Chains A and B, each alone.
Chain A
Amino acid sequence: DIQMTQSPSLLSASVGDRVTLSCKASQNIYKYLNWYQQKLGEAPKLLIYYTNSLQTGIPSRFSGSGSGTDYTLTISSLQPEDVATYFCQQYNSWLTFGSGTKLEIK
């Protein structure tokens, strides 16, 4: 199984900050990587698919990048409504998720 490791597990930042969340795969996943946002008590929401494609309706402050084993989700200007846990998910070999990064406002 491909293991997905997210860092940090907890991130505290200020409104307006540029925020970067990391996701590392245990082997090359050839950009087959998605990002989800889960707010407290809600289902996850798809943000980014295939590393850098923005899902319809998602604000443009969210972007994704990466290749090989290392991937990044960037929020260009953190907003209060971005408080959530963010999960990466690979689909190169079956489907596995990272353990999540909890993002809070400082």
Chain B
Amino acid sequence: QVQLQQSGAELVKPGSSVKISCKASGYTFTSYDMHWIKQQPGNGLEWIGWIYPGNGNTKYNQKFNGKATLTADKSSSTAYMQLSSLTSEDSAVYFCARGTTAYFDYWGQGVMVTVSS
């Protein structure tokens, strides 16, 4: 069955960077987009961008240009998102989700990133 296993919670300092992972199993990793979605406490969902692991192509929500960098390792079926120049506004739960350009059919469990000195 399709599974997306994300890395553990992160506590990071303002101004630093963090890289979180999403290991896929149960399907052909290179055949589907991998999306990343942000959810702040009590808030809704915000789409960050996607990567197509088959060729490494990426697309970003303009709001996250320069903030998020998406990569994928085909050999380990793992997608990554690096967030840079972290501020308190980046404290959130981040989900990876398999999908198409239309919808997200399988989601990871989410990673809580806390930015605090």
* Chain A interfacial positions (CB closer than 8 Å to B): 32, 34, 36, 42-46, 49-50, 55, 87, 89, 91, 94-100
Asked if residues B47 and A96 are in contact (CB atoms below 8 Å), the reply is: yes
Interface presence of B75 (CB below 8 A): no
For B46, the closest partner residue in chain A by CB is: A97
For A95, the closest partner residue in chain B by CB is: B47
Q: How far is the CB of B50 from chain A (nearest CB, A)?
A: 9
Residues of B within 8 A of A (CB-CB), count? 18
Offer 26 A-B interface pairs, CB within 8 angstroms, sorted by A: A32-B102, A34-B102, A34-B103, A36-B45, A42-B109, A43-B95, A43-B97, A43-B110, A44-B45, A44-B104, A44-B107, A46-B103, A46-B104, A49-B103, A50-B102, A87-B44, A87-B45, A89-B103, A91-B101, A91-B102, A91-B103, A95-B61, A97-B45, A97-B46, A97-B47, A100-B44
Specify which chain A residues have a CB less than 8 angstroms from the CB of B95 in the assembled complex: 43-44
Task: Kindly state the separation between the CA atoms of A34 and B103 in the bound complex, as whole angstroms.
Answer: 7
Task: Give the residues from 42 to 70 in chain B that come closer than 8 angstroms, CB to CB, to chain A.
Answer: 43-47, 61
